[in-house]
A and B are shown apart, each in its own frame.
Chain A
């Protein structure tokens, strides 16, 4: 196959071998031995005869063709011609196995069969060749002879100018892709589990939020009944009380709706919304904690924020996570001032930013670099996935999140979301 140098190839370091004749052999690999090695390589290998292609490219260049991709789009027959003109001259065992063929002979023919499942790839291989690149690689799919589609990493190493031989390799990546898909699924399930476990932690808070409108409903309705039992019943008063019952029932319904939205398994959505609304909703989930730890909360909503495009529930989750984090930082440390500052704003580049600063003990310098890593936690009971999830959600929105220590003490988290594209 490849041209083999006749120069001896020492496989043992000369220093060790110098005084021992038995070890000072020069291991010389003959072309035949190399063929055997190559035949057993665990990578599928094709030797391809590219004769005529170089000359064809030269003619095109002489005609003034520079943008070969466009040219081939206009002349698809050239690509088809190439698939028949370029021939496989040798293959190894792995190639035979990959294509579910019974012998190498089935593969030694024009390269057309390689591009059966992805006909466009032939054009891309030609473009890279025309442009004088040494290599081309692509994750693609081939159709084996029994009809199986196999995901492969496909590479081409083009021969030098005078060499009309190129090498193709393929490596079966279907297992890897399957594992990756499983990992993504696992990560999605895990994110959901984390969200639900966070909901569990927030259950008291939610119960409190729902109980408030229920209390108002019961008391207003009981007051209604008391008025109805009187001689001086006022219809206006009854109407007022009944209206309040309805308003509070709606309030309870809204809260339940939001909780359901947060707990539901859902595919990421893309809607356009105001980040300030998301912050307000998120506060609903942690207000109880903030109040019970007697934390002063200051919220500065930026005016005229551009709309953010993305998944509202996911971003709500980010804000809740950051809030819970700050509350825990304050409640675990012995701090004199208990305060959380929230701010939303629009930056010069049109990005919407959210900043949270707490008066907790801050983040030890040595942890700043890995605070967004999965499973990094300083809490005894923490899973260490809250901030990792925040980061992955923000990345999914084209945004970013940073952690720092505020000059006045305490931790500061800041995330930004890019401006939506102009229409």
Chain B
């Protein structure tokens, strides 16, 4: 059986950290939440995190700088950027810097799940998904 992937969540908003942590839990993933990009970098060790979900706008270092930093360390973990910023230039800047995906808030769980599945190379995450409501089935 494959090990359960560990996902890092970086967002300065406590309510969003809580909500995302529980979403990942119900999806069968493990996660660690950080309120600042610097906090993640302090604890960062190669290979620990299988994926990083990061907000762009945070006090101190933002999500895009974090992405650049991780790439600078040679970290290969895919980074999914989540933001309220709908500016197309922000989007292209994120993708240019190597973001795995760029999602705007509020997130759609199906979109996040699809990107997580591809980032973690775990298609079974999608297979595992059961109909949410009878009408869906």
Contact = CB atoms under 8 A, between A and B. Distances in A.
A219 B23 contact: yes
A213 B15 contact: yes
A294 to B, nearest CB: 8
Contacts of A244: 15, 18-19
Given A223-B26, A225-B133, A212 B19 contact: no
Main secondary structure of the interface of B (DSSP, over half): loop
Interface in B11-26: 13, 15-16, 18-20, 22-23, 26
A251 interface: yes
A311 B123 CA distance: 58
**Count class of interface residues, chain A:** 20 to 34
Nearest to A217: B106
A337 interface: no
Interface stretch (A6-14, A226-234, A325-333): A226-234
A214 interface: yes
Contact of B109 (A214, A217, A226): A226
B89 interface: no
Given A220-B22, A241-B22, A244-B18, A215 B109 contact: no
Interface in A386-414: none
Given A212-B84, A219-B23, A222-B109, A291 B59 contact: yes
Contacts of B132: 225-226, 228-229
Nearest to B109: A222
A248 interface: yes
Interface string A197-217: 000000000011001111111
Contacts of B84: 207-208, 211-212, 215
Interface string B78-112: 00000010000000000000000000011111000
A219 B16 contact: yes
Closest 4 CB pairs of A and B: A219-B19, A216-B15, A218-B106, A222-B109
21 contacts: A207-B84, A208-B84, A212-B84, A215-B19, A215-B106, A216-B18, A218-B108, A219-B109, A220-B19, A222-B23, A222-B109, A223-B22, A223-B26, A229-B132, A230-B26, A237-B22, A241-B22, A244-B15, A244-B19, A291-B59, A292-B57
